[in-house]
Amino acid sequence: LQFKKKKENTEANTNLLRIPKSNEQKPEIKKVKKQDTEKKEYKIKDFVVYPKHGVGQITEFKKMSIGGIEIEAYILKFEKDKANGMVPVNKQSHLRPLATINQVNKCISILKSKPKIKRSMWSRRAQEYEAKISSGKIYELAEVVRDLNKGDDLMVDQSYSERQLFEKAYDRILTEFQIVLNLNLEDTQKKLDKALKRNLEKQVQKIENKPPEEEVSEEIAK
């Protein structure tokens, strides 16, 4: 009897491990459709981010004819650049909404983190930084600001092109943070500089207190 029970158990286990044949019905797996993020509708007065120019405000929704083709477009005003732009509605995937509070907090954490400097030629790194800025992605902008930040040593041991890229990324983040956090420009800048450990007043004092080299050399000559 014991042998018989053991045999039955073995057959049961074999059935559990049996590989289904090709003609047997397989369980249906439902595919989950991705959400279409390009169908977001923006309204007049909405702030959006256009990668090449940064934060802009929609001032008008316009219908026009270009080359005999009727199109609908958003008219954007870029306050920082004192310029206007036009983005066709069917190309609005190039736009993104402003960052959320959670994304801003994540950016501040990035700004506080240790810089990641690659040991490659500056020309190559400059291209990578420029690509990140042009992407318009808030986290990538924060990474550029963090990596090019000199803290209290701003304008020291930093080339002109480095400063240009830093200021470009810094201004983009500053403008977006100001709107999202609903702060004035000065308070937003203080918040950013605190995360970056930048003390511009201290830096200015360093420059002002530094004795001019020419005057010192003249006194020694006398």
| pLDDT digit string, tens, across residues 23-75 | 555 545 444 344 343 457 899 999 999 998 999 999 999 998 888 889 999 99
CATH of 39-97, one of 3.30.70.1290, 2.40.10.170, 3.90.1010.10, 3.40.50.970: 2.40.10.170
Tokens of 163: 């400063």
Tokens of 4: 């018989």
Tokens of 186: 């000065």
Name residue 56's beta-bridge partners. Answer: 48
Name residue 54's beta-bridge partners. Answer: 50
In the chain, the DSSP E strands lie at: 47-50, 54-66, 69-78, 83-88, 96-97
- Under the banding of pLDDT at 50, 70 and 90, the label for residue 9 is low
What are the start and end residues of each CATH 1.20.58.1290 domain in the chain? 101-209
Q: Give, in order, the Cα–Cα distances in Å from 81 to each of 75, 96, 105, 191.
A: 15, 19, 26, 23
- Under the banding of pLDDT at 50, 70 and 90, the label for residue 217 is very low
Under CATH, domain 101-209 is a member of which superfamily? CarD-like, C-terminal domain (1.20.58.1290)
